[in-house]
Amino acid sequence: MRKRRPQGEEASAPWPAALYRASVPLQARLAEIADLLGNPFDRTLLEIGSDHGATAWHLRRLGGNWENADPDAASTASLQELAGDRALHIPGPDLPYGDATFEVVVISGGLERVADDSRLIAECHRVLKPLGRLIVAVPGIKRLSLPRGLGRLLGLTAERLGRVRLGYTESQLFDLLKDGFDVELARTCNRFFVELLEAVAQWGARKGADEAGWGASSLRWYGALRYPFKLAVALDTLLAFTRGYDLIARARRRPWRPRRAPILSDGRSIAEAALGGKIGTAAPF
């Protein structure tokens, strides 16, 4: 029988923990990140995110010596309540850390919010130790996407979501990484039905943010949609052959060397061919 969490412990948990427990899409994304991360024990790690500390809370529970940075000022304030002076606001792509400081850098929800994303990747390369690992989680882009079409109808533009760009295709992400990293693994999660509900939850959270604040509004909407999200997860198992809407990649640092990725005759990159298809050409699922 599953052990129930004491009410006092639940009440005393920081709200980023409550957001993690309420958001099914966030849980799926962080499960993939944690799997690619492996055991962080006794390693120095940096997390760059922008979800008010929900990712930082989860990753810190896994162990390791973490530093945190956030490109969004309001999100940083929540993060600092959780991580204290080990959480910094980074208004641009430059990172306030020394060369070869970290063994792992995790970017989750941060890359699409920085205007000069190529500079941020170069900075991650600088602060990583030789043969360090970079894990990047970004919103994926698909053409003919019904969930993203619903998002547009609901006014979920990049600006409304606090992003510079809505997301990336795999080829766009690999192109950002190719000068200083070799991609080892790439995965996706959160398919069609989950993404439909995610658009509704994002719309509702932002609609109520002016009144209740972003955190309270998010918890209310994700909490209200918890059981519909579980049904969506079950329905998405029927679509296991499709790619998800969240893209997660792990790359190994190597010496920085600008290079051009070869393109095959059908327009695919070598990376796309290795992963089995042209990115963004799946059906509207």
- Integer Cα distance of 156 and 97 in angstroms: 34
- Integer Cα distance of 134 and 251 in angstroms: 5
Q: State the pLDDT confidence band at 33, using cuts at 50, 70 and 90.
A: very high
pLDDT surpassing 50 at residue 8: no
Q: State the pLDDT confidence band at 83, using cuts at 50, 70 and 90.
A: confident
- Integer Cα distance of 191 and 229 in angstroms: 11
pLDDT surpassing 90 at residue 144: no
Q: What's the pTM?
A: 0.85
Which pLDDT does position 283 carry in this prediction?
Answer: 44
- Expressed in angstroms, the distance from the first to the final Cα of the chain is 36
Which pLDDT does position 73 carry in this prediction?
Answer: 84
Mean pLDDT of 249-258: 95
Residue with tokens 């995790």: 106
pLDDT tens, position by position, 40-73? 999 999 999 988 888 999 999 999 999 999 998 8
Mean pLDDT lowest for which of 26-30, 213-217, 222-226?
Answer: 213-217
Mean pLDDT of 31-37: 96
pLDDT tens, position by position, 9-28? 344 457 778 888 899 999 99
Mean pLDDT of 267-275: 60
166-205 core/surface letters (b: 16 or more CB in 10 A; e: else):
bbbbbbbbbbbbbbbbebeebbbbbbbbbbbbbbbbbbbb
Q: State the pLDDT confidence band at 138, using cuts at 50, 70 and 90.
A: very high
